[in-house]
Amino acid sequence: MLRITLCAAMLVGAIANAQAPATSAPATVPSAEEQITQAVLPLPNDLRATASVLGYTPDGKFVALRNGTGGMTCLSNNPQSPRFHVACYHKSLEPFMARGRELRTQGVTGDQVDSVRFREAKEGKLQLPEKPALLYSLTGQKDAYDPATKTAKGTPLFVVYIPYATGESTGLSAVPARGTPWVMFPGTPKAHIMFVPSMAP
């Protein structure tokens, strides 16, 4: 149960990282090509070539590195983060994710970010996905990415966002359990089904 709780906590942190604004200029920023290669790693192979990718300029600005033709948007690893983390989400989640980045840039932190987004969603000011929308992520140690093989070792997570979903509406538990999906943040605009295909030791 402890490992499951830690994994759930890691997802919360991973999603927060995926929505985080750019920070001051990092010491080393990989090339745009390398960032794109890293960013699409969580996706199935057939979705990688058409994904849009957001990443960092050498001076630390958060920008579009590639405008793809597919339905997924991927975020490259933040070079200043203490862990390697990349994530990809369906384009219907972009308003929600972009608003999180904007709020953090404005200095809003912690639970207040969701408080603002939840209020705006309920007021109809923030667009949410109308259908289930997937997010893939991969999180590992700082040196998880191997540039020689263009692969990364880490814990993959799959998340299906279904705004306002509950255990009753999905037939899933809201309690984390090994080997089964569960609903996190049930009944909120951020409600999603958690899948942990494997857990790193």
Q: Where are the domains of the chain?
A: 2-195
DSSP annotation of 39 reads: H
To the nearest 10°, report the CA torsion of 94, 12, 62, 163. Answer: 10
Question: Digits of tens for pLDDT over the chain (201 positions)?
Answer: 434 443 444 455 445 545 555 445 445 899 999 999 999 999 999 999 999 999 999 988 999 999 999 999 999 999 989 999 999 999 999 999 999 999 999 999 999 999 999 999 999 999 999 999 999 999 999 999 999 999 999 999 999 999 999 999 999 999 987 778 999 999 999 999 998 775 444
pTM for the full predicted model: 0.84
- E strands, 2-113, where? 52-56, 62-66, 72-75, 84-90
Residues 6+ apart with CB under 8 A from 61: 22
- Cα-Cα-Cα-Cα dihedral of 69, 129, 117, 98, to 10°? 0
